[in-house]
C-alpha cells in the first residue's frame, strides 16, 4: 500500500507541475487535462486527488516563500496579496471561509507545522462541493505561478519539480519537516 501512495504522490507532483506550466502560459486545456489526470490517478476519488495535489503545491509554495524571505533578510517579511473571487484585494482573514482556511494551510506549511496544515486542508476539502474543490486547486495554482514568477524575476531557485523543462532547475532549501479567480501576488 505504501508503494501505491508514493506512486500517486509522484504522479500528483508531475501533473501539478504541468498544470502550473499550463496556468502560466494560459493553456486552459492543459489545466483541465491535469484535473482529469489527477482523478484518473486516484480512481476518480475527487477529494483525495485534490488533497494530494494541494499538499504538493503547498510544499512548493512554502519553499518559494522561504527562499524569497531568506533573500529579504530578518524583519523584512515577504508580503502577499490575496484577492477574492471578484478580484478585490482582501486581507487573508477577511476572504471567504474556504480561502481563509486554504491560506491557513499555506501559513502552517511555511511554518513547518504539517499537522495544522493537514487539518486545515482536510477541513476545507471536506466542506466544499466538488466544483469548489477545483477552484481551491486553481487558487493554489495561481499562487504557485505567482511565486514561480517572483523567484524567476529575482533569479532565485524553486523546487526542482516546478522548474519546468524550459529552464534549468536550481536547488531550493526545504521548509522543514514535514479572471475571477482568487490569487496571491508576491510584493517585493
Specify the pLDDT at position 29: 94
Specify the pLDDT at position 143: 87
Let me know if residue 123 belongs to a domain.
Answer: yes
Let me know if residue 15 belongs to a domain.
Answer: no
Let me know if residue 4 belongs to a domain.
Answer: no
- Cell numbers at residue 79, please? 508580503
CA separation for the pair 64, 157 (Å, rounded): 8
Range of the domain at 69: 54-187
Q: Work out the number of other CB atoms within 10 angstroms of the CB of residue 123.
A: 16
Let me know if residue 165 belongs to a domain.
Answer: yes
Specify the pLDDT at position 32: 92
Let me know if residue 25 belongs to a domain.
Answer: no
Structural domains counted in the chain: 1
Let me know if residue 12 belongs to a domain.
Answer: no
Specify the pLDDT at position 80: 66
Let me know if residue 27 belongs to a domain.
Answer: no
Nearest-CA neighbor of 151 among 135, 140, 164, 138?
A: 164
155 contacts 68 by C-beta, under 8 angstroms? no
Three-state secondary structure call for residue 166? coil
Let me know if residue 37 belongs to a domain.
Answer: no
Specify the pLDDT at position 106: 92
The residues of the chain scoring below 70 in pLDDT are 1-10, 44, 73-77, 79-81, 85, 164-188
Specify the pLDDT at position 4: 53
Amino acid at each position: 500500500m505504501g508503494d501505491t501512495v508514493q506512486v500517486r504522490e509522484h504522479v500528483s507532483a508531475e501533473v501539478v507541475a504541468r498544470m502550473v506550466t499550463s496556468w502560466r502560459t494560459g493553456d486552459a486545456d492543459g489545466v483541465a487535462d491535469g484535473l482529469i489526470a489527477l482523478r484518473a490517478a486516484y480512481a476518480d476519488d475527487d477529494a483525495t486527488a485534490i488533497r494530494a495535489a494541494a499538499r504538493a503545491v503547498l510544499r512548493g509554495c512554502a519553499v518559494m516563500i522561504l527562499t524569497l524571505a531568506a533573500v529579504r533578510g530578518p524583519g523584512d517579511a515577504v508580503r502577499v496579496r490575496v484577492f477574492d473571487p471578484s478580484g478585490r484585494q482582501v486581507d487573508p482573514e477577511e476572504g471567504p471561509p474556504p480561502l481563509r482556511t486554504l491560506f491557513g494551510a499555506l501559513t502552517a506549511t511555511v511554518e513547518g507545522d504539517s499537522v495544522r496544515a493537514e487539518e486545515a486542508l482536510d477541513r476545507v476539502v471536506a466542506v466544499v462541493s466538488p466544483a469548489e474543490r477545483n477552484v481551491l486547486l486553481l487558487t493554489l495554482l495561481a499562487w504557485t505561478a505567482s511565486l514561480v514568477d517572483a523567484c524567476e524575476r529575482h533569479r532565485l531557485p524553486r523546487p526542482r519539480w516546478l522548474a519546468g523543462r524550459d529552464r534549468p532547475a536550481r536547488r531550493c532549501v526545504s521548509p522543514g519537516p514535514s479572471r475571477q479567480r482568487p490569487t496571491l501576488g508576491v510584493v517585493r
